[in-house]
Amino acid sequence: MSESITLIVGGSGAAGQSAIQAFKEHSSKTGQKWKIYSTTSGESQVEGSDITIPHIKLEEPEEAVSNIQKFLNKENANIDVLIYTPARGNLGYPVSETPDQDIIDTAKFCLDPMLDLEKKINPRITVGYSAYYYLPHLLTFYGSLAFIKKKMEEWAVQKPDSRKIIRAGTFFSQSVRGITIILQRLAKSSPHPDLQKLMEEQKSSGKKFGDFFIDYIQQKENESFGKNFPSIPYRITEPKDLKIALLKILEGEKSPIVSLVGDWIWTEDKLPEMPDYLKIR
């Protein structure tokens, strides 16, 4: 069996590491050989990757894509599967009040490089990562990221044979820790009623904000999806669950969206119901 090549943009993070594990497990299960290229913004080798592409800074998206393309051309590497994990944007305010400029700025890091890479390196499959941005508890504070995740899902549904999304529940990561810190800081002085209510709930719980926030997310996820899985108890999502979702895609999943929360996993071929303000931007 010939060797296939994957490029993981953001290989050091939780999602990137789960993807590396998925390719290794797929190789051991099927005999399909995978050569793993991973990008990093620094210069350290990405754990588990065969080849690291260093100094890829997505803050300058055009330069980052150009540098990736030059590296791959020098290696004569034709990418079979592109994995795009980066997620960073303006948040800490209700999605309904997202300024247009925040959407543009967030897309430059989280979406535009993926679209550019897909066009320029023409992989067989491109995989992006989404979240439950449309649920009420995330609409309270998810800001510009909600619009970017929605745009990613629209992109995948347009060409389900070559585009896939892993929509995952909240899991412990550097990103989530960062969101928690930002949200705690902004919510204290926020005029938004929903955020004020969140802070009131936190105070009455007697818990530190970080502990309260994780418990709050788990409660809301269970309320949203638990009824669909009455025989499987809720648990918070872990990076290993993202690996399982990617394995499902590598094994030939036809649907464009693989959704998961802990042990719950299902597929979707259209976007969920969402507020009108999310649909029109």
Q: Is the pLDDT of residue 33 over 70?
A: yes
The one-letter amino acid code at 269 reads D
Three-state DSSP class for residue 183: helix
Q: Report, as an integer, the average pLDDT of 18-27.
A: 98
Is pLDDT at 183 greater than 70 in this prediction? yes
The pTM is what?
Answer: 0.95
- Band (pLDDT 50/70/90 cuts) for residue 199 is confident
- Entry field: residues in the chain: 281
Task: Write phi, then psi, for 201 (nearest 5 degrees).
Answer: -65, -40
- Lowest-pLDDT range of 2-16, 21-35, 165-179: 165-179
Q: How many CB atoms lie within 10 A of CB 191?
A: 7
CB-CB contact of 279 with 170 (8 Å): no
So what's the pLDDT on residue 270?
Answer: 97
Flag whether pLDDT at 184 surpasses 90. no
> Does residue 240 have a pLDDT over 70?
yes
CB contact set of 263 (below 8 Å; sequence gap of 6+): 229, 232, 233, 235, 241
Cα 139 → chain centroid: 16
Q: What is the DSSP letter of 124?
A: S
Average pLDDT, the chain: 94
| 45-94 confidence digits (pLDDT tens) | 999 999 999 999 999 999 999 999 999 999 999 999 999 999 888 888 89
pLDDT (0 to 100) of residue 186: 75
The label of the residue with tokens 């948040």 reads 91
Q: What is the pLDDT of residue 1?
A: 66
pLDDT digits (tens, 9 = 90+) for 114-165: 999 999 999 999 999 999 999 999 999 899 999 999 999 999 999 999 999 9
The alpha carbons of the chain give a radius of gyration, in whole angstroms, of 19
| Strand runs labelled E in 54-185 | 81-84, 125-130, 163-168
Say which residue, 169 or 214, is predicted with more confidence: 169
Domains delineated in the chain: 4-171+235-280 (3.40.50.720)
Share of the chain above pLDDT 90, in %: 81
